[in-house]
Structure formats: C-alpha cells, structure tokens
Structure 1
Amino acid sequence: MKKYVKRGLAFLLSCTVLLAAGCGEKFDASGYTKAVLDAGTRGETEKYEEFTKSSKEEAKKQYDNFIDTEMQEFEALGVSEELLTKYKEYVASLLKETKYEVGEAKEDEDGNFTVEVSVQPIKVFDGVKDTLNQKVQEYTAQVEQAAMQNQQVPSDQEITETIGQMLYETLNGTLANLSYGEAVKKVVHVKETAEKNVWEIPETEARELFLSLLDMTGVEEIANP
C-alpha cells in the first residue's frame, strides 16, 4: 500500500505545470497568467490560444499530453485500465475545483511584469486518513480470515487493485465537499524571451504556483499508516 500511495501521490504533487509563452505587442501579463492557470487546471484553452497564437487542437493536445504523462505513475503500478481512467477523471475534476484570483500586473523598468496571485489551496487529504484506514483494516481482516479458514486469498495484484480502488473512492468522495485553506499570496514574473513580443513565466515559478493550489498536508500519514 505504501508504494501505491506514494507513487499515486507523485501524480498529484507534480500534476500542474503547463509551460507556455504569450505573444502580442500590448501585452496583458495578468490575463496571460490567468490563461495559463485556466488551461492547466480546467482545460479552458480559449484565452491561452489567443495569447500563444496556438490552435485549439494544439492547446488541447498539450493539456491532454500533460495529464497522460503524469498518469505514467499509476500505469507503472500494473492496475487495471478501468482504475487508471477513474484516477484520471478524479484529478481532472479536482483541478477544476482549485481557487485562485489573479491580481493586476505591475511593469518594471525593464518592461517585464510582476503578477500577484491569491490562492486558496484545496486540502486534498482532509478527512481521508480515517476513512481509508477503516476500509483497509476491514479488507485486511477479511483476507486474514480467509487465510485462517484455508480459503483462497487474493493475489498481490488483486490486493493492489482493491486498495487502489479504496483510495480512489475515498479521494473521489471528497470532491462534493472539499475543504480549502486560507488564501496565500504567490508572485510570478512574466518576462519577455529572447524572441521579441514572446512572453513566459519561469518554469520554477509556474511549478510553485501550481503546486500551491493543492495542500498535501496529511500525505505522509496516509503513505505510512
């Protein structure tokens, strides 16, 4: 279970950086920042397409490829395609519930911009530990009882699949009543690249911004029951 949870959570921890560049002479750094966030968390790519001069297909493909790449963490576990699909849907749904407000951009003397973003992080594992532990304990007791009665017990893969399903059900069950932390301020810099009128947010800042949308407090307690 530890291996499963740790690998699965790697998906959530890294599920967020959508690298992009914006074009235009009269540049709206605040609008660009929001467009990157909306595209990366909600799959809403219309504004992103305008800023980056990309087609809808290109923007959608980038978003889909981003999610698919991170899903490799689950694929490596050998769980069923059905369960992988469920996790993919869960993560997409979770990201759509993120809360952020993009402030006005401030231009510096070099012509670059600073943008402040107010984030209310989702407490992803709030209330998950107790529910998941109860399900695992009940399942473990059933397996142990079957073994004691010389009945057939699940294979390792069946156990992995079952626990994976339990974790999915527990996480997915929180979507209807998510908890959020207090708003925190994040600052990103929108800079013009070597190519004139092409803008970008530094990768490290974009990653930190996206990661701040999810509060992972409690993950260690779940990974090490």
Structure 2
Amino acid sequence: MEVGVQTELFADRPATPVYVPAKTGADASTQIYPGDLFDFDLEVQPILEVLVGKTVEQALAEVAQEEELATLREQQRRYRELRDAELAERQRLAAQEHRLMEEKERRVAEGRAARTAALEARQRVAAAALVQGYVAELLPAVLAGLRDAGYLVRRLRAGVQEEFMPWLVQEVSEEIESLITSRDVITDIFIYFSYDNFTNLVQV
C-alpha cells in the first residue's frame, strides 16, 4: 500500500528549543523532617551570651587599661611636681648656704677689722698718753731753755702758759676721750657680732 503525506506549505516554524546539556551523575535528594534542624530561638542564646560576654570583657579590659594609663599619667605628674619642688628646695638651700657663707665671711671680716681698729685705737691712746706725758715733761725744759737763751719774753711765756697749754691739754683730752669712746663702741660691736653669736644664729 502506498501512502503519501503533504505538509502545509505556509505553516509557521516552531522556536528552536534551549540547549540543555546532557545529565551526568546520579540525582540526590534530602528529606528534612520536623525537628531535624536546630531551634533558632533556643540555639542562638548561648552564642549570643558568648558574643556579649566577650564584648563586655574586652570593653572592661579597655576601660581598665585606660584607667591604668590615667593613673600612670597622674603618678608621673605628681612625680614631676615633687621633683620640681625638690629641685626648687635644693636651689633655695644652696642659695641660703651661699648667703650664709657670704654673711659668715663678712662677719669674720668685720670682726677682723674691728680687732684691727681696736688695736689701732689702743695704740693711738697709748701714743696720745705717751705724747701727753712727754710733752708735759718736755715743755717746761723747752720753755726754760728758751727763757735762758733769751728767746722767750714775758708776754709770750704768759700766752703759752695761759692760752697754749690749756688749749693743748684740752685738745689732747678730747682726742683721748674720743679714742676711748670709739674703742668702747668698736668693742661692743665686736662682742655683739662675734663668731659665736653668728654660729648660734646660723644654727637657729
């Protein structure tokens, strides 16, 4: 039997199908029953506790470290203040010691000068007394020699005896009294500013 089929000439061509590669291997599937997976609300709590605990622990460690650094800075500040105060105190004590040494040297120099002045005053007093006695003994002999030689007239002799001699005696007495007063004042000053008093002053 012969059969013939004729397609329709104006029929639309169908779309080319998408290329799908051939399968390789075996298909697998998993069946998950209720209760097989973890309960999120129940299982997440320990994890959150661990995370929160670690975070809090780290935060506390950082806070403790910051407090320790602040304490170290405060200790350093107090140490610098104490060091500056000790340095200022050492400088003040050094300056005070320097002033005391200068004062001691000045007082010793004053005492030495006072002793020298007192010695000179005693020497001047002794010299004045010696001169007074020598003049008192020498003047009559000189006047007698001048009188015997004819150089001393009656009026000049009266002037010497009535004016010059009282004036000379008064001047010598005033000079001796001034020397004695000066010696007493210098002696009092020397006694007051002696080395022992200065030592006691330094110790106080």
Normalised by the shorter chain, which TM-score bucket? Answer: under 0.3
Larger Cα-atom Rg: 2
Report the TM-score when normalising by structure 1: 0.20
Report the TM-score when normalising by structure 2: 0.22
| Structure 1 or 2: more helix by fraction | 2
